[in-house]
Amino acid sequence: MDAAPASRVANLDLLRAIAIALVVPVNLVGERVIDVGPTMNHVFESGWVGVDLFFVLSGWLIGGLYWRELGRHGDVEVGRFWARRWLRTIPPYLVALVAVYGLRAAFTDNPDPFDWRYLVFVQNYTGMPYWGVSWSLCVEEHFYLGLPVVLGIALRVRGGVPVALGAAALVSLVARVLTVPDGADPWGPQYTDTHMRLEGLALGVAAAWVYHCRPGLWPGLRRAGRLVVLPGLAFVATVPWLPLDVLNRYAYTGVALAFVALVVATADRRPLPLASSRAVRAVALTSYSVYMTHTVAADVYRRLAMDALPGVPPAVHVAGALVLIAAVGGAFYAAVERPALWVRRRLAPRRSDRPSPALAPVG
């Protein structure tokens, strides 16, 4: 099942680039860099679906790493699994957190005290006085922490893997249906709380399980993905106009299913148009850094450029903000994220790729 790796990487790079391109305008509206009236602002704000695409991609990729290690070695070294994930994500996160708080203090006469909750990834449950985009990083860290434990238990039971992952996705849907009141703020707990946002991650891991551990089922799943991907994306396109209560309770599940179908339909096919381009690869490569820094860059641009030059056409300011976001994200990748990856390779290298004897299917 390792055929066509270059195609797979190229297409996933394209999806990463699309995801960050959806997310950035959400916060340009929030930072008042984009203001095109209530209706179009709302359409731009619906780019939050890009976060759900990131969740599905993360589930697919982290699941692939887990299932490959299990298939090659017969087990997964949980300590190494956690170490590699944390060395990948936490050092850049901490640097970004310090930068965010430092700039906030510099631009605010009476800044809030530093919030320790950001150090333990619980701010998505307790409120975020700054750096609002960090909620999704909390969700992913919680998921990475629990995933090998849950899968280790599920693998002991026949059929346990699909049941466990399906249950994780179902828990989020049921939690929203049972707890979100009518007319709730769309940016409330149902948007940020981990237990309400597990669908994309869990379904991404489930798709990776089929690909790596049930290869006989993969062609059928791929055909199904290709059949439903266009209707699924059509549903995603309706998100700005969904009734509020439907959005708050059910839309996340529909969006996750649509994006799982998209990943399944494209994961092992030849590169899509533009997928192999240098621009797409660059955007994909820096997407994590851009995600962590883009709200700060937009805020700085608004304060230093828009407030100082109010007569400049709005489109010019949007272009200027995007240039600054790309520059800051690229610099952060070069100065922080890439060195963190180098440290990870030294401190927590991958296990040997030497395959173990043939193993029975897992889960």
Q: How far apart are CA 96 and CA 101, in angstroms?
A: 9
Q: Which whole-number Å values give the CA distances from 268 to 169, 221, 227, 259, 260, in the listed order?
A: 24, 12, 16, 15, 14
Q: Which whole-number Å values give the CA distances from 79 to 85, 348, 351, in the listed order?
A: 10, 10, 12
- Which pLDDT band, with edges at 50, 70 and 90, does 85 fall under? very high
Share of the chain above pLDDT 70, in %: 94
Q: At 51, list the tokens.
A: 């976060």
Evaluate whether 211 touches 202 at the Cβ level (below 8 Å). no
Q: Among residues 273, 288, 290, 267, which one has the least CA distance to residue 218?
A: 267
Helix (H, G, I), strand (E, B) or coil at 312: coil
pLDDT at 3: 39
∠ CA 215-219-222, nearest 5°, is 115
Choose between 113 and 229: higher pLDDT: 229
pLDDT at 10: 93
Query: Which residue ranges make up each domain of the chain?
Result: 5-347
Q: How far apart are CA 253 and CA 244, in angstroms?
A: 15
pLDDT at 2: 38
On average, the pLDDT of the chain sits at 92
Q: Which whole-number Å values give the CA distances from 76 to 42, 43, 141, 185, in the listed order?
A: 44, 43, 18, 41
Q: Over the stretch 172-226, which tens digit does the pLDDT of each residue have?
A: 999 999 999 999 999 999 999 999 999 999 999 999 999 999 999 999 999 999 9
Q: Among residues 69, 101, 99, 72, which one has the least CA distance to residue 82?
A: 69
Residues 6+ apart with CB under 8 A from 64: 208, 211, 212
Q: At 2, list the tokens.
A: 């390792």
| φ, ψ at 7 (rounded to 5°) | -65, -40
Q: What is the pTM assigned to this prediction?
A: 0.93
CA dihedral 350, 57, 223, 209 (to 10 degrees): 40
Q: Over the stretch 272-297, which tens digit does the pLDDT of each residue have?
A: 999 999 999 999 999 999 999 999 99
Q: Over the stretch 123-172, which tens digit does the pLDDT of each residue have?
A: 999 989 899 999 999 999 999 999 999 999 999 999 999 999 999 999 99
pLDDT at 363: 54
Q: How many helices and strands in the chain, by DSSP H and E?
A: 16, 0
